[in-house]
Structure 1
Amino acid sequence: MAIRLTPTALDRARRFLAASPASVGLRFGVRKTGCSGWGYEIDVANIKHPDDTVFEQDGIAVLVNPQSLPLVDGTQIDFVRKGLNQEFVFDNPNAAAACGCGESFTTVDKPLPG
């Protein structure tokens, strides 16, 4: 599978990365949080770790650590604006449910390795 960015997310990523000339791409993963278990993290990556999986799309690299990969593989990342708010949103085929506030998600039969 892969991590995919919509055209809107690609455009936003290009602007983020242009503001950080030392960056090597976007880092995407999860952390334990919220009422459902896992929360998404996305940020500018300044280094590539040897065990990162890298997904390239139209010149943008998305780096995922091995612990997060089973939980996010196949995710499509979009960037949406609603009124004054703007955010990355995630369409993750591994997510079985999300909490009511949308801050975290849970999976079925995909425990975090290690």
Structure 2
Amino acid sequence: MSTESTTGTEDKAVVVTPDAAEEAISLLEGESMDTDVAGLRLFVQQGGCAGLSYGMRFDNEPEDDDTVVERHGLRVFVDPASLNYISGAKLDYEGGLQGAGFHVENPNATSSCGCGESFRT
């Protein structure tokens, strides 16, 4: 398996805030997923008004070519194509009555739509 673990390095992978890790781990556990193996997949897909959008889902394990980022007890899986777009991005979670959810701050985005859900590089 050629899965790359980037534990301890933040320069070329995804930064995960403690709040994002805590929320994702809670959701994983709520789905009865083993957090030692399972993780959050962060990916980029075509779509949105700016051309590209972020996607997230839980996976039981990484794919062979994924980069695996381990931060604050959370495993994040990123495929090679998506990593080209989101390398160095920060995954955060904000709670509250309005706008609660995961947010990606991407230094590679040259523009984004008004709602912040899609971007262009």
Residue in structure 1 matching 2:56, options 42, 45, 63: 42
Q: Which residue of 2 aligns with 1:14?
A: 25
TM-score normalized with structure 1 length: 0.86
Q: Which runs of 4+ in 1 moved over 6 A?
A: none
TM-score normalized with structure 2 length: 0.81
SS of 1:51's partner is coil
Supply the RMSD in Å over aligned alpha carbons. Answer: 1.4
SS of 2:80's partner is coil
Deviations 1:68-114 (CA, angstroms, capped at 9, x unpaired): 0110111111111242441111111111110112221000xxxxxxx
Unaligned runs of 5+ residues in structure 2 are 1-11
The 5 Å alignment of 1:55-94 reads 55-94=69-108
Conserved 8 A contact 1:16-1:44? no
Give % identity. 38
SS of 1:26's partner is strand
Once the two structures are overlaid, the 10-residue window that deviates more, 26-35 or 43-52, is 43-52
Count the aligned residue pairs.
Answer: 107
* Whole-Å separation in 2 of the counterparts to 1:15 and 1:65: 23
